[in-house]
Chain A
Amino acid sequence: MADNNKKEIKKHYITRSESRKIAKENSRAIAGFEKQKKRKVRPEEYVTQMKDDKNIVEFEDLHTYFFSDSGTVKAVNGVTFSVPAGSTVGVVGESGCGKSVTSLSLMQLVQAPSGQIVSGSIRFRADMFKLDEKGKKIPVYEKYTDENGEEKIKLDEKGKPVIRKNGLGGNMYEMERQVVDIAKMPTEAMRSIRGREVAMIFQEPMTSLNPVFTIGNQLDEVGRLHIEGISKHQVKARSIEMLQLVGIADPEGVYKKYPHELSGGMRQRVMIAIALLCNPKLIVADEPTTALDVTIQAQILDLLRDIKGKINGSIMLITHDLGVVAEMADYVVVMYAGRVIEMGTAEDIFDNPLHPYTIGLQKSKPTVDKEADSLYCIPGFVPNPINMPNYCYFRDRCEKCMEKCSGEYPGLIKVSDTHSVSCYLYEGEEVKNG
C-alpha cells in the first residue's frame, strides 16, 4: 500500500531536477524545430506524391507535440486520414482530443514555440507558383498574332510587356500543380499557401477579427497579399462581392464597419468571406458554430454547404457536435486522445458505429424520439496526455474492456472498404482487398 502511494505521488508531482531536465530537453527540441522552420530549402525537399490522387489532403502518421514544463504533451499522436477532393470530412471528438491541433498543424499555426510538428507528413495538393532560377515568379504575358501570323508579346505605351490578368483581376503567373508536404515546409513557403490555397475559419468569431481595423481593411488585406497586381478598386469590389456571397445584406455598409459593430453570426460570415476571398481549395472550419446560438448555427452551416458547391472545394470540419457532422459530412473521423479511433463514411459511423467510444458518443446525444430520464454519459475523463501508456487510451473508460486491451495499442482494422476502427473487439473481422 505504502509503495503504491509513493508511485501515485510520483505520477502527479515532478521533482526539481526532473523539471530542470524537462526544461533543458524542451529548449533543445524547440530550438531544433524552430531552426528547421526558418531554414532555406529548395522546393524539391518538400514536394512529394499523393498516395491517392483523389485526395486533396493526406495526413500520415502525424505527431504534433507540445513541449510543456511538466512534460511532452502528445496532442496529436500518429494521426492518419485523408480528405478526398470535393468532399466534406468531419473530425469529431471530445474537447482536448487533438482535433484543433490537427487542423492547426495543417495551417502550420500550432502555437509555437512550445507546439511543434514532430514527425509524419501532411500532403497537400496545391497550385504553386512556378519559379525561375532566381526564385522569382514567371509572369504570363499577353500575346497577339501580327499580320505575318507570328505570335508576339503585347507591349504597353512604355514598351513594357503586358501581363495577362487572371480571373480575380490580378497578374497571371505560371502555375504548377504540386503536392507539398506541409510538415516539412519552411514557414516562408507556407505563407503563399495560407489564405490562398487553404483557408481557416476559427471557433471564436467574437475575437477572431482585429478590433481596430475595419472589416473592409481586413478583407482587402488578403486580396492585396495574394492577388498580385490587382488594383485598389478591384480589391474592394472583390471584398464586397465576397460579403454578398456569404449573405450579408448590406455589404457596402458592413465593409466600412468595425468588428464590434457586428453580431457574432455576422462576424462569422465575415470570417468565411475572408476565407473565401482567394478561392481556396480547402476550407478548414474549426468548430465554426460552437460560439453561435442555434438558429445562427443552422444558417452558417447552410452557408458553408452552399459555398462548397460554389467554389468547388473541400471542407475539413472540426466539431464536437455529432448533429453538425451528420448534417454536413461525407466522411467522419473520430479522434480520441490524439489518435484516430474510427473513421468511415457518415453512414458507416452513424448507422454502424463500432468503437465503444463512438457508440458512447452516439448514446450521449440527446434525441427527441426516445424517452429518457437522464442523458447517457461516458464515465471518466480524457486521460492526461503526458506520459501516456502504450495500451488503448480508452481502456479505463470502456465498458467492453477485455484482457487483451492491456496489450499494445490496437492498430486500425479495416472492417469494410470505407470503414476502419482501432479496437481489439473487431480483430479478425478485417476485410482484405487489394
Chain B
Amino acid sequence: MAKYIIKRILLALLVLFGVSIILYFLLRMMPINYVMEKFLPQINQGNMTWEDLGRIMKLYGFDLVMFKDENGTMLGEVNNSFGSIFTGYWQWLWNFIRGDMGQSFKYNEPVNEIIASKMGVSFGISFVSLIFQVIIAIPLGIKCACNQYGKFDYITTVLFMTLTAFPSFFLGNMVIKWFAEDLGWFPSGRLDSGLGLTGIAGFGDMIWHLILPMFVLTILSIGSLMRYTRTNTLEVLNADYIRTARAKGLSEGKVVYKHVFRNTLIPLVTVLASTLPMLFGGAMITETIFNIDGIGKVAYDALKEGDIPLAMCYNMFIAMLTVIGTLLADLMYAVVDPRVKLSN
C-alpha cells in the first residue's frame, strides 16, 4: 500500500511538471498582460515612453519588443518568442520549487496568500452544495432505478436533466431575478450586508447571502449525479446476487439499501473523489455572477486581466487537486470494493 502510494505520488510529480509547462505557455500566449494594460493609457497620453515601459516590464520578467508601424508610430508588444517564454518558465519553475509562487501583479501580494485567504468562502459554498447534491441525488437515483420507466422516474429525470442543461450564468441570473429582485427574499450577491455584524448574527447574515449561490450550484449538479446513480443501480439490480438476496427472503428495503446500495457505491466513490478540485477551486462563473469574493472570482479576474503569476498558481493548485483527487478515488476503490487490492 505504502509502496503504491509513493509510486503514484512520483508519477503525479511528473504529471504536474507536464501540466505546468503547458499552463505557462498558454498563459504567456494570451493576448493580454496585466502590466502592459496598466501602463498603456499613460503611453497613449504621452506621459511615458515605450523605453520606460520596457524597463518596467523587465522588472516583471518580460521582454518588450518595440517596432514602428508604417506611419512611423512607435509600438511595442511582449516578446512571445519561444526562447523568451522558455526563460520565463525556467524562472517560474525555479522559484516554484523553492516555494516562491510569485507576486500577483494586481494585488502586489504573494499569490499563495491570496489563494489561501479566498479559499475559505469558496470551499464553504462548494462543500455545502456537494453535501446537498449527495443527499438529494443519490436517493433520487436509487428510487428512479427501482421504479424504472415509472412516473416518478420520468418526472424526476426530465426535471433535473432540464435544470442541469441550463448554463450556470443563465440559471444564476434567473434565480437573482426571481428570488432577489422580484420576491426580495435573498440578497443578489456579496458576502454580507455591510452592517458590520459579528458572531452568530454575522454568520447568519453570511449564510443568508450564500443561499442563492449554493442553491444554484446544487441544482446544476444534481442531474448528472442522479443519472449516474440510476444507471449504476439498474446494473446492480439485475445482478445475480440481488436475486439471491431476494431468495433469502429479505425485504425489498433491505435488498436495495444493503445489497444494491453497497455495490452502487463503488463507482459513485470515484465520481465523488474527483469532485475534490471543484470543492477547493471555487465556482468561477457562479461566484462572479453573485459577486462573491471567492477564489473562483479572483481566478476569473486574474485570467481576464492577464495577472500571470496568480493565474498560474491557481491553475497549478487545481491541477494538484485533480491529481490528488484521482489518487484518492483509487484508494477509495480499495476501501469500498474488497476485490480491489492496491499493489504494483
Please list the residues of chain A having a beta carbon within 8 angstroms of any beta carbon in chain B: 107, 109, 187, 191-196, 199-200, 202, 204, 207-213, 221-222, 225-226, 258, 260, 271, 274
Contact = CB atoms under 8 A, between A and B. Distances in A.
B68 interface: no
Interface string B25-60: 000000000000000000000000000000000000
A258 B250 contact: no
A210 B263 contact: yes
Contact of A210 (B247, B249, B259): B259
B241 interface: yes
B135 interface: no
B263 A274 contact: no
B262 interface: yes
A271 B247 CA distance: 11
3 closest cross-chain pairs (CB), A and B: A195-B249, A194-B249, A207-B240
B247 A207 contact: no
Interface residues of B, number: 21
Given A207-B240, A210-B263, A212-B262, A274 B248 contact: yes
B242 to A, nearest CB: 8
Given A209-B241, A211-B339, A274-B248, 12 more contacts: A191-B250, A192-B249, A193-B249, A202-B247, A204-B240, A209-B244, A210-B245, A210-B263, A212-B266, A225-B248, A225-B250, A274-B244
B11 interface: no
B8 to A, nearest CB: 24
A195 B247 contact: yes
B263 A212 contact: yes
Contacts of A207: 239-241
Given A194-B249, A221-B250, A212 B338 contact: yes
Nearest to A284: B247
A225 B245 contact: no
B7 interface: no
Contacts of B338: 211-212, 258, 260
Contacts of B243: 109, 202, 208
Contacts of B252: 187
B42 to A, nearest CB: 67
Interface in B245-262: 245-252, 259, 262
B239 A109 contact: no
B181 interface: no
A237 B249 CA distance: 21
Contact of B240 (A187, A208, A213): A208
B244 A202 contact: yes
B248 A222 contact: yes
B336 interface: yes
A104 to B, nearest CB: 8
Interface of B: 239-241, 243-252, 259, 262-263, 266, 336-339
Given A207-B241, A210-B259, A221 B248 contact: yes
A226 B243 CA distance: 18
A188 to B, nearest CB: 9
Given A211-B337, A212-B263, A194 B248 contact: yes
Nearest to A198: B247
A212 B248 contact: no
Contacts of B247: 107, 109, 194-195, 199-200, 202
A268 to B, nearest CB: 12
A211 to B, nearest CB: 6
Contacts of B251: 191
11 contacts: A194-B249, A202-B247, A204-B240, A209-B244, A211-B263, A211-B338, A212-B338, A225-B248, A225-B249, A226-B249, A260-B339
B339 A194 contact: no
B193 to A, nearest CB: 50
Contacts of B245: 210
B248 A195 contact: yes
A210 B246 contact: no
B241 A211 contact: yes
Contacts of A200: 247
Contacts of A274: 244, 248
A207 B236 CA distance: 11
Residue among B246, B249, B251, B263 with max Cβ neighbours from chain A (10 Å): B249
Contacts of A187: 252
Contacts of A260: 338-339
Given A211-B337, A211-B338, A258-B339, A202 B240 contact: yes
A343 to B, nearest CB: 26
A191 B249 contact: yes
A205 B31 CA distance: 64
Nearest to A205: B240
A213 B249 contact: no
Contacts of A258: 338-339
Nearest to B238: A111
A221 B247 CA distance: 12
A298 to B, nearest CB: 24
A109 B246 contact: yes
A213 B262 contact: yes
Nearest to B336: A212
A225 B250 CA distance: 7
Contacts of A204: 240
A200 B244 CA distance: 8
B249 A196 contact: yes
Contacts of A195: 247-250
Nearest to B262: A212
Contacts of B337: 211-212
Contacts of B240: 202, 204, 207-208
Nearest to A211: B339
Nearest to B266: A212
Contacts of B266: 212
A209 B259 CA distance: 10
A191 B246 CA distance: 8
Nearest to A275: B247
B334 to A, nearest CB: 12
A225 B336 CA distance: 25
B215 to A, nearest CB: 35
A209 B263 CA distance: 12
A318 to B, nearest CB: 14
